[in-house]
Amino acid sequence: MIGTASGTRSIAQGLADRISRNSLRLRLVSVFISFLVLFVVFSFTSRNFFNFQNLKVIAFNASLLTIVACAEAIVVITRNLDVSVGSIIGLAGYFVAKYATAFPHSGVMIIVVGVALGAVLGILNGLSVAYGGIPSIVATLGTLAIFRGITIIIGRGIEVPSGNLPRWMIKGADLEILNVPFVIILAFVVVLILAFLLANMPIFRRAYAVGSNPGAAVFYGLRSNRVVLFAYTVCGALVGLAAFLYVSRVGTITVNLGRGWELTALAAVVIGGVSISGGSGNIVGVLLGALILSTIDNGLVLARAPEFWRMFIQGCAIVGAILLDATIERRIQTIFTRRRA
Amino acid sequence: MKRVLVVLTVLLFAGSLAFAAGGKKYRLFQDPKFTGLSYFELCAQGGEQAAKELGDDFVYTGSPEADVQKQVQSLQSVVAQKPDAIIVSAIDLNAVAPPLRKARSMGIKVVSYDADTAVDARDFFVNQMSYEGAARAMLDCALLDAPEGGEIAFIAASPTSPNHMAHIRIMTELTKTEAKYKVFKPVATQFAQDDEAKSIDVAINLMQAYPNLKVIISSSAVSAPAAARAIETIGKVGKVFATGVALPSSIKSYLKDGSEKAFFIWDPSKLGYLASYVAHYALDGSLKNQEGFKFTAGSLGEFTVGKDGEIVYGKPLFFTPDNIDQYNF
Amino acid sequence: MNGFARKFRWELFVAGMVILAGVWATFLSPYFLNAGQLLYASGNFIFTGILGFGLMAIIVTGEIDLSLPSTLAVCTVLLAKFSMFSLPLWLAVPFIFVVGAILGAINGFLVARIRLPALAVTLGTMGAYRGFAFIIGSEVGYTGFNDTYLWLGAGTIGKTQIPIQLAVFVLAAAVFVVLMHFSTFGRRCFAVGNNMRAVEYSGINVVRVKMAAYVIGGLTAALGAWIFIGQYGSARGDNANGVILGVITSVVLGGVDINGGSGTIVGVILSIIFLWTLRSGMGLANITGEVQELIIGVLLIASILISNLSRLRLAYGKRQKGKSKVVDLGRDV
C-alpha cells in the first residue's frame, strides 16, 4: 500500500516538476499561437500581407521596439517599472545625433556614446529606486520629465537633419545581409544574448529571484539593491543602443523623439508573457510581443482599416494576451494540484 | 522736379506713418502648435525681428507637446497676462477658440498663423499659402517627381489639422477636375501626428499596401522628409517619390543624391514676421478687416486682406537639386 | 512631534509646499495673485483632481487603473452624440455615468474577479477604451455643444466669478473624504490594501470592495467628462490623452502609498493645489513647458527622497541609541 502510494506520489511529483518547468514554455507557446492566428487573419484581409517583402517590413518595424522592450523586460522581471525609456531614447538619441554631426569620423565611438549615456541615465533611475527607496513608477515618472526636459533645453528647438549624419550610419541602418536587414539581425542577436545571459549569468538569475519575492531576497542576502541597480543600468544601456539605431534609421531628429515609447514597450513586454509582478518571463516572448504589435499595425494598414481601430485592437490584444496567459497558468495549477493524490 | 517732390512727400508721409505706428509699445505673444520644432522656432525668429523693427515686446511661449489641451492651457495662461495681441497656430481650430474669444472680449487682438482657428475667435489669419495654392504646389512637385502620374497617398498630422485636411481635400478634387493633374490617383490618407518614427512606419506600410504607389505627399514638415527616408530604407528609391512641405535643411541630402526631385515650403521666418506686423497694425487701427484692403508689412512688401480676414503670404519656395544650396534654414 | 503632526506628517509637508509654491508663484509673476485669474485658471486642475480622487480609491485597495482618462474620453464623445441629436441633458448625464460605471466594472471584473495584474490589464483597457472613444467619435471633434451641456464646466455661480466646477470639486472632495475616511467601505479599502489575505479570511468580500473601487473610478471619469466639455468646449477621442501620468503624480505626491493601504484625500487635494500653483505660476511667467515638467519631476523625486531620508535617519538614530536592532522593512517604526 505504502509503496504504491509513495510511488504514485513520486510520479505525480515528477509530472508536476515537468509541467512547471514547461509552464513557461507553454506560455510562450500561447503567445506564439496568438501570433499565428493574427497572421492567418491578416492574410485573408489583404493579399499584400503574406509575402517576403512585407514580412521583412513587419520584422523591421518590430526590431527597434524589440530592443527597447527587452530592456524594459529586464527591469520588469525585478518587479519594477521604467516609464522613462522614451525620454532616454530622446536624450541619448539627440546626443548621438549631435555628436555624430560634430565628429562624423569617430566611427564606433558614436555607438559607445549612445550606449554609455543610456547606461548613465539607467544608473540614475536605478539609484533612485534601489537606494532612494522611491517606488519605481514614481521615480521613473520623475526621470521621464527630467530627461525629456534636458533634451528639449539642450536642443533649443533645432532639428538635426539626416544630411548631417555620417553616411555610414544611414547606410548601416539600411544595410542588408543576404536580403535580411541588418537591424533585424541585430535585434535577434540581442535577444539571443539576453536569453542566454538571463538563463545562465548569476546576477540575472538573482534578478528573477528579487522580482519573485523581494522580501525573501533581502533575507537571503541577495543584495537586491545591487541587482536592481544593475537591471536599470542594463536597461539604460540597451535603450541607448536602440537610440543609436533610431537615429540611424529615422535620420531627421527632433527633440521630441522617442515620446510614448514606454507604453508600447510595456505592451510588448506584457503581451510577451512577462509577468508584471516580476519574477518570471522569457525574452523570446518579448520578441514575439513586439512582432505581434508590429503585425497588428501593418495588417491594419494593409486591410485599409481606419487609424483608430489600431488603438482599440492593440488594447484588446493586450487584455486578450494577459487573459490567455492567466488561463494557461491556472490550468497548469489545477492539473498540478489535482494530481497530487 | 515735380516728380521728385511727390516721391519725397510720399516717402515722408510713409515714414511718419511708420514712426507713428511704432510709437506705442505693444506686447505680442506668439504661441505655436508646439515648441521645439525648427519650423516654429524660425517663425518665432521672424516674429521677433518684426517686433524689434516696430518697437514692440515679443514673447514666445507654448507647450513642447503636440497636445490640444496643453495648448489651451498655454493660451489661458497667456490671456491671464493681458497681452496686447496673441499670435497663434492652432492644433485644433475649435478647441482653442474659447480662450481666444475671451481674449477678444477683453480687447486683445488675435492673429492666427500657419493653422487657423475658428473664424470668430480671431481678427486675422495669416495663411502661408492659400489652401488651393499649397495643394497645387504639392501636386506640381509631384508632377516633377513622376510626370507620367500614378497612385499617390497622403500623410497628414491628424484628422483635425485644418490645413492638412484642406490640402488633401483640394488635391483630391484637382486630380479629378484638372487635366494636368488627372494622371494622379489618390489611394489613401494616413496620419502620423508629426512624429518622425511613426511617419517612417506609416510610409513603409503604405508602400506595402499599395505596391504601385508612385508619390507620397505630406503637408507635415516632419513627415515629408521621413517619407523620403522610408523610401531609402525600403530600397524603392526611384520607384516611389516623396514630396510635400519640408524645410530645406531636412531634405537637402535627398535632393543632392537624386533620390528626390522637388519639395516646397514658404519661408517660416517671413511668415512670423508678417504675423507680427499684422498684429501691430491691427492694434494701432491702421489695418482694417475689409476685403481688398492693402497694407505694407515692413520689408516684405504689400499685402491684401482677403475674405474673412485672411491674409495670404503666398510666396512659395520650390526646392530642386539645382537651387537647394541657396537656402540655409 | 505630537500624534496629530506625526500621523499627518506628509499632509502638513505638502501644505507647507503649497504655501511655498504660492509665494514663489507670486514672486515669479505679478499676474498670479489675482482673484479673477486664480478662479479662471482653477479649471486646469479640477477634472484631473476628480480623476485623482477615483484613482486614489483604487490605489488604496492595492490596485491601479491607467484607463481612467480613456473612460473620460468615451464619456465626452458620448455626450457629444447626445448633444448632436439635441437630446436633453437629463438623459445624457445619467447615461454617461452608467457607461463610466460599466467601463470601471469591466476593469474591476478583470482585476478583482479573474485576478489579472492591474497594471497590465488597465494598460490594455487604456488603449481599448481610447480606441473605442475614437470609434464612437470618429476622428473629427465635436464642438457644437448647446449651452446646457457646457454649464457645469463653463458657468459661474450667479453673478460671482466662482466657477461652478470649483463648487463641484469641493462637493466631490467632501464626498470622498467621508467615503474614504468615515465610512465602512473606506475602511475596508484601506484594509484590503494593507493585507488582502487577512481581510479575505475575516469574511469581507474583497472582490466586491475592489469592484466598487473601480466602479467609483469610472464614475469620477464620467463626472470629469461632463466638466471637461464645459471647460474645453470640444469632445474628441484624444481628450485627456496622456493625463494619467499627471494624475498618478498628484496622487503619489499626496502621500498615497502606491502599494496601497495608506493615504488621505486631503493629501491628494493639497498636492493637486500644489502642482497647479506651480504650473500656473510658471505658465504666467512664460516658463516653457519642458522646464515646468523638469521642475515637477525633480520635485517629485526630491520630496520622496527627503521623506525617506528622514525616516531612515529616525531608524538609524534609534539603533545608535542602543535600542533593539530594528530591521526597517519600510514601515513606520
pLDDT for A288-322, tens place per residue?
A: 999 988 888 888 877 777 767 878 888 888 888 88
CB contact under 8 A, C297 and A141: yes
Residues 6 or more apart in contact with residue C45 via CB below 8 angstroms = C272, C273, C275, C276
CB contact under 8 A, B232 and A53: no
pLDDT score for B295: 87
Find residues 40-99 of chain A whose CB sits inside 8 Å of chain C.
Answer: 81, 83
A neighbour chains, 3+ CB pairs within 8 Å: B, C
pLDDT score for C65: 95
**Nearest residue of A to residue C304 by CA position?**
A134
CB contact under 8 A, C304 and A152: no
Q: Which of C46, C53, C79 is nearest to C68 (CA)?
A: C53
CB contact under 8 A, B97 and C143: yes
- Give residue-wise pLDDT tens across range A69-93: 999 999 999 999 999 999 999 999 9
Tell the residue number behind the cell numbers 481581510, with chain if given. C199
Find residues 174-213 of chain C whose CB sits inside 8 Å of chain A.
Answer: none
d(Cα C163, Cα C181) in Å, to the nearest integer? 27
Tell me the shortest Cα–Cα distance from A175 to chain B, in angstroms. 9
B182 grid coordinates: 488627372
pLDDT score for C329: 44
User: E strand or H helix at C250, and its extent?
Assistant: helix C243-253
User: Which of C288, C295, C296 to mutate: most B Cβ within 10 Å?
Assistant: C288
pLDDT score for B287: 85
- Give residue-wise pLDDT tens across range A207-258: 988 988 888 888 888 888 999 999 999 999 999 999 998 888 887 788 888 8
Res. C333: pLDDT tops 60: no
Query: In chain C, what percentage of residues exceed pLDDT 90?
Result: 35
- Give residue-wise pLDDT tens across range C215-274: 999 999 999 999 998 888 788 887 888 788 889 888 988 888 888 888 899 999 999 989
Torsion angles phi and psi, residue B102, rounded to 5:
-60, -40
Torsion angles phi and psi, residue B109, rounded to 5:
-85, 135
Beta strand segments in B206-293, E:
213-218, 241-244, 263-265
Say whether C299 sits in a helix, a strand or coil.
helix
Least confident of A172-176, B114-118, B284-288, C25-29: A172-176
CB B44 within 8 A of CB B32: yes
pLDDT score for C186: 93
pLDDT score for A12: 63
CB B187 within 8 A of CB A304: no
Res. B9: pLDDT tops 60: no
CB C111 within 8 A of CB C233: no
Query: In chain B, what percentage of residues exceed pLDDT 70?
Result: 93
Q: What DSSP string describes C179-220?
A: HHHSSHHHHHHHHHHH-HHHHHHTT--HHHHHHHHHHHHHHH
| Average pLDDT of the residues in C287-316 | 79
- Give residue-wise pLDDT tens across range C42-91: 777 888 899 999 999 999 999 999 999 999 999 999 999 888 888 888 88
Number of inter-chain CB pairs under 8 A, B vs C: 77
Res. A138: pLDDT tops 80: yes
- Give residue-wise pLDDT tens across range B108-145: 999 999 888 888 899 999 998 888 889 999 999 998 88
**A94 touching chain B per CB within 8 A:** no
**How deeply is A188 buried, as exposed, middle or buried, from its count of CB atoms within 10 A (0-12, 13-18, 19+)?**
middle
A155 grid coordinates: 536642443
CB contact under 8 A, B160 and C236: yes
pLDDT score for C139: 66
Nearest to C128 among A128, A151, A315 (CB): A315
Q: What DSSP string describes C259-271?
A: TSS---HHHHHHH
Res. C324: pLDDT tops 50: no
CB contact under 8 A, B74 and C241: no
**Nearest residue of B to residue C150 by CA position?**
B98
User: Which of A72, A141, A266, A269 to mutate: most C Cβ within 10 Å?
Assistant: A141
Res. A274: pLDDT tops 80: yes
**A170 touching chain B per CB within 8 A:** yes
CB contact under 8 A, B211 and A57: no
d(Cα B159, Cα B162) in Å, to the nearest integer? 8
Q: Which of C85, C99, C86, C84 is nearest to C132 (CA)?
A: C99
Q: What DSSP string describes A253-317?
A: B-TTTTTTHHHHHHHHHHHTT--TTSS---HHHHHHHHHHHHHHHHHHHHTT--HHHHHHHHHHH
Q: Please report residues of C whose CB lies closer than 8 A to that of A326.
A: 114-116
Choose between C157 and A248: higher pLDDT.
A248
pLDDT score for B91: 85
CB C32 within 8 A of CB C281: yes
CB contact under 8 A, C237 and A308: yes
DSSP C292: H
Beta bridge partners of B305: B311
CB contact under 8 A, C308 and A132: yes
C neighbour chains, 3+ CB pairs within 8 Å: A, B
Q: Which of B133, B24, B171, A79 is nearest to C258 (CA)?
A: A79
| Average pLDDT of the residues in C276-292 | 83
pLDDT score for B205: 83
**How deeply is B18 buried, as exposed, middle or buried, from its count of CB atoms within 10 A (0-12, 13-18, 19+)?**
middle
d(Cα C61, Cα C39) in Å, to the nearest integer? 34
CB C186 within 8 A of CB C180: yes
On average, the pLDDT of chain C sits at 84
C209 grid coordinates: 470592495
Res. C319: pLDDT tops 80: no
pLDDT score for C169: 92
| Average pLDDT of the residues in B168-196 | 88
Q: Place B20 in a pLDDT band, splitting at 50, 70 and 90.
A: very low
pLDDT score for A172: 76
B neighbour chains, 3+ CB pairs within 8 Å: A, C
C249 grid coordinates: 503624480
Tell me the shortest Cα–Cα distance from B276 to chain A, in angstroms. 21
Q: Which of A193, A185, A264, A235 is nearest to A75 (CA)?
A: A235
pTM value > 0.80: yes
Nearest to C291 among A133, A142, A153 (CB): A153
Tell me the shortest Cα–Cα distance from B250 to chain A, in angstroms. 5
| Average pLDDT of the residues in C122-137 | 90
**Would you say the C-alpha torsion A149, A154, A155, A156 has a positive or negative sign?**
positive
CB contact under 8 A, B65 and C140: no
pLDDT score for C296: 86
Nearest to A302 among B196, B200, B208 (CB): B208
Choose between C63 and A53: higher pLDDT.
C63
- Give residue-wise pLDDT tens across range B267-301: 889 999 999 999 999 998 888 888 888 888 888 88
CB contact under 8 A, B73 and C241: no
DSSP C241: T
A257 grid coordinates: 523623439
Nearest to A254 among B36, B211, B256 (CB): B36
Least confident of B61-65, B178-182, C201-205: B61-65
**A302 touching chain B per CB within 8 A:** yes
Q: Which of A187, A217, A215 is nearest to A203 (CA)?
A: A217
DSSP B35: S
B70 grid coordinates: 496643453
ipTM exceeding the 0.85 mark: no
| Average pLDDT of the residues in A260-266 | 87
C254 grid coordinates: 499626496
Res. A171: pLDDT tops 70: yes
Q: Which of B263, B279, B174 is nearest to B227 (CA)?
A: B263
Res. B232: pLDDT tops 80: yes
Looking at chain B, how many residues does it have? 329
Find residues 264-323 of chain A whose CB sits inside 8 Å of chain C.
Answer: 266-267, 270, 275-277, 306-323
Q: Which of A169, A147, A41, A45 is nearest to A101 (CA)?
A: A169
- Residues belonging to chain B with any Cβ–Cβ distance to chain C shorter than 8 Å: 35-36, 59, 61-65, 67-70, 72-74, 76-77, 80-82, 92, 94-95, 97-98, 158-160, 191
